[in-house]
Structure 1
Amino acid sequence: MTAGTTTVGLEIDDAGLARVTLRRGEAGNAIDLDLARGLLQAARACAREAVRAVLLTGEGKSFCVGGDLREFSRLSGEALEKHLTAVTDALHDALRTFAASDAPVVAAVQGSVAGAGIGLAAAADVTLAADDASFTAAYTGIGYSPDAGVSWFLPRLVGPKRALDLLLTNRRVPAAEAAAIGLVSRAVAPDRLTAEAERTAEALRGGPTTAFGATRRLVTAGLTTDLGPHLDREARALAAAAASDTGREGVAAFLGKRAPDFTRIPPRP
């Protein structure tokens, strides 16, 4: 399946891997209203088609430099407020839709990553960064506050003290430091970024999608839940996983000394 918009490309192959591509490379993939809506459309298509994994990339030199300030600067007052609300509503709905899916998301980021671009990178389950990529919060530098989940993700990934350092000072964080503090999963050589991201997404595509979904939700819930209730949640999730087709295939493969074939089990819509 090939779909998408002029600003966000979407390809879903027969094996269930969705490739979502930001297509405003000439503008650093800055997020305007069209791109935000295109990302939401892509997220909904992935949910509708019950994909097994998502690979998120950006065309051009930079993954995403944040909001499109040129677009925003053409408006003022109430018109600007309404416009930014429309942009963030679409962008945030896209993030919610990806997060609600069982399919893990892999992001490959290069060049400058700023503002909402950090939110997109942080929202992915596995984020690979080119060695020469850099990250800058940027919001307060122009008198804005964060969006795209940045103020939610950063404290959880790097800790509240370091998150405030990044958000208030807007200092540039090179890829090596981003990996060291947990902002990204790992940094790779620029000429290996695409291949490594594809390899990671393909591996996840062939995995136990429903178990991935349960694991994603447990990790997220565990950040805000006391241990006791979380242990109960884990127990229920494990019992459901064990009784599922995915769990039965995994155990049968282990006992039969063979590789499991999770791809024969359709992902949940």
Structure 2
Amino acid sequence: MSDPVSTTIDGSVATITLGQPALSIAVKEALRDALAAVATDQSVRAVILTGTGSTFCVGQDLAEHAANLASAPELSLNTVDEHYNPIVRSITSMPKPVIAAVNGTCVGAGFGFALACDLIVLSNEAKLGTAFTGIGLTCDSGLSWTLQRAVGLSRARRLVMLPMPFSAADAVTWGLAAELVEPSQVLSVATKLAVGLAAGPTAAYAESKALLDQAASSTLDQALDAEGPAQQRLGLTQDHQGAVTSFLAKEKPRFTGQ
């Protein structure tokens, strides 16, 4: 059996790989800890989350879940607070871009993790779905929040209440991903994207992530009030000041995140 989760760092890009398709407690704990580690690693400026083989993530390990329900239900029933919520919060609050390289099947909490990421690179053979109501449960991993904002409330209701799988082509049509790539190219395309982002203004990315998340549930006035201080903070950075100088000199700016 492969490691639950592995992390590799190449330059300023960290790639976190789910080594097993289902989310056992071991996988969830390892993913939670790996995300927390790269979030605070100052050398890492972009993160990729991906799976192994033809599977990104199939969601909860139901065999383990069933065994725990029979013998120690608290191990399963506490998993939202202990694992899923910290994982999603780590992805969304991380002050650097996170890319989901969805190499294959992506359902349940795995789908929630992908939607929590900033960008998705999607295999054209991937099958996606919510799956929760199919086993008598409801959304977790932030899916009740992210899905309706991605596809609209009406379609989100349908996808959750009628948990049929849908195709990668549907995901692009609905705006969940921008484009499809061949399965063998998912990681390379995501890596190229991550390298480009890592060389960019990461402080601006962090502020932008925070603003977009806040604006999803705020008024226009609240959004305007948040944008001003964010611009003031960024206006004092070396990245901004250097980029303005480079622009005026017709040179390519160099961003350091400072």
TM-score, reference length from structure 2: 0.94
Q: Which residue of 2 aligns with 1:121?
A: 114
Cα offset for 1:256? 1.6
CA distance in 1 between partners of 2:187 and 2:39 (Å): 24
> Which residue matches 2:160?
167
Q: Please state how far the C-alpha of 1:100 moved relative to its aligned partner.
A: 1.7
Match of 2:171 in 1: 178
Report the alpha carbon displacement of residue 79 of structure 1 after superposing the two structures with TM: 2.1
Map of 2:221 onto structure 1 = 228
Q: Identify the match of residue 18 of structure 1 among 11, 14, 23.
A: 14
Q: Which runs of 4+ in 1 moved over 3 A?
A: none
Deviation by residue 1:89-134 (Cα, 9 ceiling, x = unmatched): 2232122122222110011112211100111110111101111111
Q: Equivalent residue for 1:189? A: 182
User: Superposition pairs for residues 83-122 of structure 1, below 5 Å?
Assistant: 83-86=76-79, 88-122=81-115
1: CA distance, partners of 2:28 / 2:80: 6
* Deviations 1:208-260, CA, capped at 9 Å, x for gaps: 11100000111111111110121121111112111111211221221121111
CA distance in structure 2 between the partners assigned to 1:88 and 1:119 by the alignment? 15
1:75 Cα deviation from its structure 2 partner: 2.3
> Does the 8 A contact of 2:68 with 2:75 survive in 1?
no
CA distance in 1, matches of 2:255, 2:235: 14
Task: Please give the secondary structure, in 1, of the residue aligned with 2:180.
Answer: strand
Aligned residue in 1 for 2:196: 203
Amino acid at match of 2:55: S
Q: Percent identity at matched positions?
A: 34
What do residues 175-224 of structure 1 show as CA deviations (whole Å, max 9, x unaligned)?
Answer: 01101112223222223222211111111111111100000111111111
Work out which of the residue numbers 1, 6, 13 in structure 1 matches 2:3.
6
Structure 1 residue 88: Cα displacement: 4.7
Between Structure 1 and Structure 2, how many residues are aligned?
256
What is the match of residue 49 of structure 1? 41
Amino acid at match of 1:40: R
Match of 2:130 among 137, 162, 169: 137
Contact 2:104 2:183 in 1 (8 A): no
Distance 2:110 2:190 in 1: 17
